[in-house]
Amino acid sequence: MIRINAELCNGCGACVDVCPTGALYLVEGKAVLDEKLCRECEVCLAACPSAAISVAVQQEPVAQAARLPAVQSEPAVIQVRSRPAPMPVRSRILPAVGAALTWAGREILPRLANLWLDRQTTQSADDTRASGTQTSGGRGGGRQHRHRGRGSGG
């Protein structure tokens, strides 16, 4: 059975995000488990950064007549082994996609921008030569006429 230690829970919501059945939710900044929805898949154990979620081992009730005082020289240690939770596909793919986009932005995009700018300047130079117009000087080159509108005072 899954248990949540409210004292250790920091309310980050990581367990809520990975729970496939929606059995976990936050109440007043602490994780709460709906035992009816929980399938004990233990995905939340690996997701919890503060180790507030654990698996509690239930012992089967023993009949009253069969109970005998137990004599133990040392206290028993119960070890709970949890299987590592399978990582969601997005957790495996997103880092690779982010790295690829970063590389493309750093390496490919500047080269494409330079190629595009070179083409633009080459095309404008070819267009200027083909039309025979001058870019500056000459009659009317570079002059701009401004027309005054009606009612303008200056």
**Residue tagged 């921008």 (tokens):** 113
Tokens 């023993």: give the residue: 62
Q: What is the maximum alpha-carbon separation in the chain?
A: 118
Helix (H, G, I), strand (E, B) or coil at 2: strand
Per-residue pLDDT of the chain (154 residues; tens, 9 = 90+): 788 888 888 888 888 888 888 888 888 888 888 888 888 888 888 888 888 888 877 665 555 556 666 666 677 777 777 777 777 777 778 888 888 899 988 999 999 999 999 888 888 887 777 776 555 544 544 555 555 556 555 4
H/E run at residue 114 = helix 109-131
- Which residues are CB-contacts of 5 (< 8 A; sequence separation ≥ 6)? 52, 53, 54
Helix (H) or strand (E) holding 33: strand 30-33
The pLDDT assigned to 80 comes to 78
> What pLDDT is recorded for position 145?
54
Q: CATH says 1-58 is which class?
A: alpha beta
pLDDT for the residue 78: 75
Q: Given this model, what pLDDT does residue 46 score?
A: 84
Domain boundaries, the chain: 1-58, 89-130
**Residue-level pLDDT at 133:** 56
Residues present in the chain in total: 154
